[in-house]
Chain A
Amino acid sequence: MAEPRVVVVGAGITGLSCAGALRGHAAVALVDRVPVTGGVHGWEAPETRELTAQSGARMLLGATAVRWDGEHLLVIGQDGAELLPADVLVVATGTRPLGRSELGIAGSRPAGVVAATVAVHLAENGLLVGRRPLVVGGGDWAHRAAGALLAAGAERVTMACPDGVLGGYPEQDEDISRLRKIHGARPVSVGGSPRVEYVELANGDLEGCDALVLAHGAVPLRNVDGAVWEGPRAVYAQPLADPAGVDGARRAGREAARAVRSLLESP
């Protein structure tokens, strides 16, 4: 009997753990759009190096997974398009913070409303989305965004934390002259023209700011056409814990591998 084939999209800790747990049970191909493993955890982390070495998978890094038809995954990489046959697809593409409509933030459409992923990316490259931004959220992405904005030269950052500050973020040692956290604050609308000028909170307070950074919550990032919803040959390994942890990611990967094996053993 031919060895079953599994394609895992996402070579972060979850995808790598899944591939490692499937070693010896299936021929695994790992696909990631960036040319290194580790995902948000980073390629230099010891866990990344260890899991990469142990995965035993064929690596297709720097390649984008485009479409899943239930039997093949279309991948575009530096050598062109490739159709990877697979008995099961594992989606381990991570999460993103909630968008504006998902957060229920009403108001006009001023410039300066950005996702935390974008704000962090720009700040790490020296570009500020605002000098006095308001960051919605109290978890992983919110702290990353606030830290990156302050490091890039923001005058002050206000964090509106709808669920308070999540565990794992001690508030000592922070530059409180430039960073303010409002616990239990939920933005309900944004205003200003042409840029963001203020955000209205649920308690009626208006917070002046020149950018609104969306960093609250976590939803699965699913951008492989044909594998957006649950399917008979698709397994989703996207832990939603905030802050995300290596242990949670490893656990999600192992659980996904168990689900894959159960699918492969079913008639």
Chain B
Amino acid sequence: MKVTSPIGELPFTVRGVTLHGGRVVVEGELGAWRSRIEVSREDIPMLARAFRGPLIAAGAAAAAVVLLRRL
């Protein structure tokens, strides 16, 4: 994974994903820097909005594949 930052593009390595206090915690490293991403319930609407487009596209593609196989 890569993350764009003010000092350029850096590699992001995921070391583990845990549930902590009702939050999904992604622990990893941004280059050599220890990093942590916390996703809580309040973030779900924002994530749903961000992923709506790609999910619709993926669903449409899957439906098209299923239809083509049936024809």
Contact = CB atoms under 8 A, between A and B. Distances in A.
Contacts of A121: 6
A266 interface: no
Contacts of B10: 34-36, 43
B31 A36 contact: yes
Interface string B29-53: 1111110000000000000000000
Contacts of B33: 35, 62, 78
Contact of A62 (B8, B11, B31): B31
A215 to B, nearest CB: 18
Contact of B32 (A59, A124, A125): A59
A62 B7 CA distance: 11
Contacts of A124: 8
Nearest to A11: B32
Interface residues of B, number: 11
B18 to A, nearest CB: 21
A34 B34 contact: no
Nearest to A32: B32
A105 interface: no
B42 to A, nearest CB: 28
Chain A: interface size category: 10 to 19
A115 B66 CA distance: 56
Tell me the interface secondary structure of chain B in the complex: strand
Tell me the interface secondary structure of chain A in the complex: loop
Contacts of B8: 34, 124
A59 B29 CA distance: 14
A7 B20 CA distance: 40
Interface centre among B10, B11, B31, B32 (most CB of A within 10 A): B32
A61 interface: yes
Given A36-B11, A43-B11, A62 B32 contact: yes
A14 B37 CA distance: 34
Interface string B1-19: 0000011101100000000
Interface string A55-77: 00001011000000000000000
Contacts of A34: 7-8, 10, 31
Interface of A: 34-36, 43, 59, 61-62, 78, 121, 124-125
